[in-house]
Amino acid sequence: MPVPARIDRRPRVAYLPDTYHEVNGVARTARHLTDYALRHALPFMCVRPGAVCRHWTQSSVEHVELPRGRLAVRVEKDLWQDPRILRYRRLLRSRFDEFRPDVVHVTSMGDFGLLGWRLAREFGLPIVASWHTNIHEYAAWRFDKAARFVPARPRRVVSRGLERLFLEFSLWFYRKGAVGMAPNPELVELLRQGTDKPAFLMERGVDTELFDCAKRARKADGKVVFGYVGRLSTEKNLRVLKRLEQALMAGGLSDYRIEVVGHGSESAWLEGNLRQARLRGVLLGEPLARAYADMDVFLFPSRTDTYGNVVWEAAASGVPAVVMDAGGPQYIVRDGLTGIVSRSDDAFVANAVRLYRDRQLRRQMGGSARMAALAQSWDSVFDRLYDEAYATAVA
């Protein structure tokens, strides 16, 4: 597919992410995109969830925050959906009239995505829809967890049916857009084939000044520190960490610690089942950067993540990662160079044990990971967003 030529006037973008202030990869990307527009003096309106209803302008960027109502439903510890979100249509019509956007960018089928879709239809604007979450896989994972009492075979049948149903529903939503975006090549191809619309790759950048191996402050104690950062939810496959502990103990390897950063529904299980783990809750900014730098091996066993911002943050911190061969992280890790890609839970455990045993390999991979991260800037990611997806939508 040919890449459209760069246009002289950058489009005026109305951006409606479903998450912004929370601690997750989608929210982090939303904040970086808003900052990019501000740095480059681009006309940009960001409509997002907030604690109170407020509106302000910061140079070229217009900020609008809208609180969710009392009927909002919790879908994760820090994520909500408001079934009455369309009550803000009238308020936003006036903002759209003044801002005059050329394109509307939504990030999901959630409440703010629905709000953006309705306003785009009313104003006759093209929609750019970016895929951030594999809702179909999440639905299957959560059903499996809730239905463990059901025999394996019928449970698998229902799980696969739910996955197909939610995938078709997702593709129905993305067909409404003019252009799709996804964070890894597999999902880009899924969008192209499933929607018959243009689709582009939208990777993620990493702040290599904040996340830096030079911030390592942990004193040499002879221990190998495994680390995880992210939401603590069932689809992250975190229970494999117990199997890792069992393998280490069976091999007489006890000089380790598992540092877990984040919060979510699996917190209690992890605290009750891991013997040498420390749950540190949510960390941000410098405390998070120091936590990464003090790790020796980054563990990310999820099979459902569409990208994996945290894998880049670990890489920038000079920490090799062990990931699965599904979802976005497999495209971030250069297998055997900056970390290891695992084909199964058993292989994941074996690869983590291998890095525990091989200090020199950890150092080599960590250095290569840092070098790879230095080339992954947010500006290059968003330059492509404007030059490809936005330009195609408004052409």
Asked if 229 and 187 sit in the same domain, the reply is no
Q: Which pLDDT does position 134 carry in this prediction?
A: 60
Answer yes or no: is 5 within a domain.
Answer: no
Asked if 170 and 55 sit in the same domain, the reply is yes
With both helix axes pointing from N to C terminus, report the angle between 359-374 and 345-357 in degrees, rounded to the nearest 10: 110
Model-wide pTM > 0.95: no
Answer yes or no: is 7 within a domain.
Answer: no
Q: How many structural domains compose the chain?
A: 2
Answer yes or no: is 341 within a domain.
Answer: yes
Q: What is the pLDDT of residues 137-165, one digit of tens each?
A: 656 666 676 777 777 777 777 778 877 88
Asked if 177 and 222 sit in the same domain, the reply is no
Asked if 279 and 157 sit in the same domain, the reply is no
Q: Which domain does 120 fall in, by range?
A: 13-205+377-394
Q: What is the pLDDT of residues 80-104, one digit of tens each?
A: 889 999 999 999 999 999 999 999 9
Answer yes or no: is 6 within a domain.
Answer: no
Q: Which pLDDT does position 152 carry in this prediction?
A: 75
Helix H or strand E encompassing 203: none
Task: Measure the CA–CA gap between 249 and 349, rounded to whole angstroms.
Answer: 12
Asked if 186 and 45 sit in the same domain, the reply is yes
Asked if 189 and 313 sit in the same domain, the reply is no
Contact at 8 Å (CB) between 232 and 269? no
Cβ partners under 8 Å of residue 157, min gap 6: none
Lowest mean pLDDT among 1-15, 191-205, 288-302, 366-380: 1-15
Answer yes or no: is 294 within a domain.
Answer: yes
Asked if 324 and 199 sit in the same domain, the reply is no
Asked if 153 and 89 sit in the same domain, the reply is yes
Asked if 183 and 218 sit in the same domain, the reply is no
Answer yes or no: is 4 within a domain.
Answer: no
Contact at 8 Å (CB) between 384 and 200? yes
SS3 assignment, position 177: coil
Burial class (CB in 10 A: 0-12, 13-18, 19+), 90: exposed
Give the closest residue to 27 by CA, choosing from 199, 225, 204: 204
Q: Domain of 370: which CATH number?
A: 3.40.50.2000
Asked if 311 and 362 sit in the same domain, the reply is yes
Name the percent of the chain lying above pLDDT 70: 94
Answer yes or no: is 200 within a domain.
Answer: yes
Q: What is the pLDDT of residues 225-236, one digit of tens each?
A: 999 999 898 889
Asked if 316 and 333 sit in the same domain, the reply is yes
Lowest mean pLDDT among 73-87, 348-362, 369-383: 73-87
Helices (H), the chain: 25-39, 89-99, 111-123, 135-146, 152-175, 185-195, 240-250, 267-273, 285-293, 309-316, 329-332, 345-357, 359-374, 378-384, 391-394
Tokens of 96: 């759209």
Asked if 201 and 74 sit in the same domain, the reply is yes
